[in-house]
Amino acid sequence: MRSMADELFELEESFLDPAVQDDPFDTYTTLHEKCPVYKVPENGLYMVTKYEDVREVLTTPSIYSSRPGTGAGGLNEASKAHAQVFQEKGWVKGRTLQRTDPPEHSHYRKILGRVFTNRAVEGMIPRIDEITHSLIDQFIDRGQCEFVSEFALPLPGIFICEQLGLPAEEYETFKKWADAMLAMSQRPLSPDEAVIQAEYEVEAQHHLAREFEKRREEPTDDLISALVHAHQEDEPFTMEELQDLMHQLVTGGFETTTAAIGTSMWLLLRYPDQMQKLRDDRSLQKNFIEESLRFDSPVAGLWRTAACPAEIGGASIPEGSAVMPRFAAANRDAEVFESPEVFDITREDLHKHVAFGLGSHFCMGASLARAELMSAFTAILDRMDNIRLAKPLDDNPHKFSFFLRPMKELHIEFDKI
């Protein structure tokens, strides 16, 4: 058993160093071997990196709670300023779904389960395909594009935007709101910056409140309407709950899918032999998508709070500590995946990956995300040949984020088919 003192294990470079964040995979290997539960000195977070330990965290909510703690230092000035804007001008979000533990969580999950059915997602596919093709139409004759801003961002963005009752032309407004919803968790903000982001989000809340009311009176076939009416015999969601659920759907469903689409394309460019294999046998497309999610997981890690003193992976974690199951590291564990550092779209162990989490909080949007990825790469491979990098990537090709993997940009060239 490692003692608390052993938590002083030091990495050669800080885990928060932008270069390490951008390419953390060697560090994951070091941690697997030397310190599977690593306390990040800068923020006191316990990062759990081994597959079995990540599974244990995800399936033991009585110890690793999803109810947010305030962190060791309590709320900072920026968080207080941010919260005040909602109290004064919008709605303080209720704590729902991802921010709850059983049995409260099961209540939300049961109702939301009526919204995210396989049938509902199948019904969405024709519209996803239309958006995919219309985006490709806009650059196909040019023989090149900046893949992130012209495709990976707008595909899930326009789709959710429409589901929220905003027309595709309002995509820029939607993007501003979605960015604001994510802002506090991406990087430290000053109190003034936090207030600006909160005000954008309050603007989104008022838009959503109007859309909720419209759907209450006249149901439609979009996500908002489904949410408003999903309660059936249960109590209807309050405005505070609806606002929190929408916040989770937007933050959980937009940048994550953008990161998955961008990274999957980059992987095809980095591994042309795998691209060729895929072109030769298109039945491998599902596998390709799962292998991309395993190899470079779009949600690298998320938060739990230790509800009591905990022992895991040989480490002792004090009650109240922030704990991060690191999905991306678990998916590179050599004890579970053979040669995990090899990108291989014919792997047979892919069903084990935890890129969508595991247990009661398993991603509600997994089938939607998979449908978007499937639509994207079917159209790309059908319509574009000889895809190649048009411009060398930045030294750190990802935007800085401690938990997501969004690429900054990806310039590609191709031959139109």
Q: Is the dihedral angle over the CA atoms 133, 136, 138, 140 positive or is it negative?
A: negative
**Minimal distance, residue 361 CB to ligand HEM, in Å:** 4
Tell me what percent of the chain is helix, strand and coil, each rounded to the nearest 5.
55, 10, 35
Q: Computed from CA positions of residues 296, 299, 303, 309, in that sequence, does the dihedral angle turn out positive or negative?
A: negative
Q: Do the Cβ atoms of 181 and 201 come closer than 8 Å?
A: yes
Site for ligand HEM in 219-278 (CB under 6 A): 248-249, 252-253, 256-257, 260
Give 351's contacts (C-beta < 8 A, 6+ positions apart): 290
The token duo for 290 is 């799962």
| Shortest-Cβ-distance residue relative to ligand HEM | 365
Determine which residue in the list 302, 328, 410, 412 makes contact with ligand HEM, applying CB under 6 A: 302
Asked whether position 310 contacts ligand HEM by CB under 6 A, the answer is: no
Phi, psi of 389, rounded to the nearest 5 degrees? -75, 130
Q: Cα(23)–Cα(286) distance, rounded to whole angstroms?
A: 25
Task: Output the smallest distance, CB 61 to ligand HEM, in A.
Answer: 10
At 156, list the tokens.
Answer: 């899930």
Contact 333, 36 (CB under 8 A): no
Nearest residue (CB) to ligand HEM, 267 versus 363: 363
CB of 391 to ligand HEM, least distance (A): 25
The pattern of x and - marking residues 74 through 113 that bind ligand HEM according to CB under 6 A reads -----------------------xx----------x----
Nearer to ligand HEM, 243 or 248 (CB): 248
Task: Return d(Cα 62, Cα 270) in angstroms, integer.
Answer: 42
**Distance of closest approach, residue 234 Cβ to ligand HEM, in angstroms:** 16
Which CB, 85 or 181, lies closer to ligand HEM? 181
Q: Does 365 bind ligand HEM (CB under 6 A)?
A: yes
Stretch that binds ligand HEM, among 125-133, 180-188, 272-280, 357-365 (CB under 6 A): 357-365
- Is residue 357 at the binding interface for ligand HEM, with CB under 6 A as the rule? yes
Contacts to ligand HEM from residues 36-75, by CB under 6 A: 58, 66
Select 81 or 301, whichever has its Cβ closest to ligand HEM. Answer: 301
Of 179 and 193, nearer to ligand HEM (C-beta) is: 179
Pick the closer one to ligand HEM by CB: 78 or 153. Answer: 153
Residue 369 makes contact with ligand HEM by CB under 6 A: yes
Stretch that binds ligand HEM, among 83-91, 141-149, 184-192, 352-360 (CB under 6 A): 352-360
* Closest separation in Å from C-beta 341 to ligand HEM: 20
Q: Looking at beta carbons only, is 221 or 273 nearer to ligand HEM?
A: 221
Sequence-ordered strand ranges (E) for 223-339: 304-306, 310-312, 315-317, 322-325
What backbone torsions phi and psi does residue 127 show, to the nearest 5 degrees? -70, -40
Minimum CB–partner distance for residue 41 and ligand HEM (Å): 24
Torsion angle, alpha carbons of 409, 200, 195, 325, to 10: -50
Toward ligand HEM, which CB reaches closer, 100 or 414?
100
- Taking CA 69 as the corner, what is the angle to CA 251 and CA 34, rounded to the nearest 5 degrees? 90
Residues 379-408 as x/- pattern, contact with ligand HEM by CB under 6 A? ------------------------------
| CB nearer ligand HEM, residue 82 or residue 109 | 109
For position 363 contacting ligand HEM by CB under 6 A, the verdict is yes
Report in angstroms how near the CB of residue 415 gets to ligand HEM at its nearest: 28
Question: Which helix H or strand E contains 260, and what residues bound it?
Answer: helix 255-270
How many residues in the shown chain lie near ligand HEM by CB under 6 A? 25
Do 199 and 89 contact (CB within 8 A), yes or no?
yes
Q: From CA 371, how far away is CA 80, in angstroms rounded?
A: 39
Task: Report yes or no: 17 and 42 within 8 Å, Cβ to Cβ.
Answer: no
* Alpha carbon separation from 353 to 52, 336, 340, 349, 368 (Å, rounded): 12, 9, 11, 8, 17
- Whole-number Å distance between alpha carbons of 252 and 411: 26
Residue ranges binding ligand HEM (CB under 6 A): 58, 66, 97-98, 109, 248-249, 252-253, 256-257, 260, 298-299, 302, 327, 355-357, 361, 363-365, 368-369
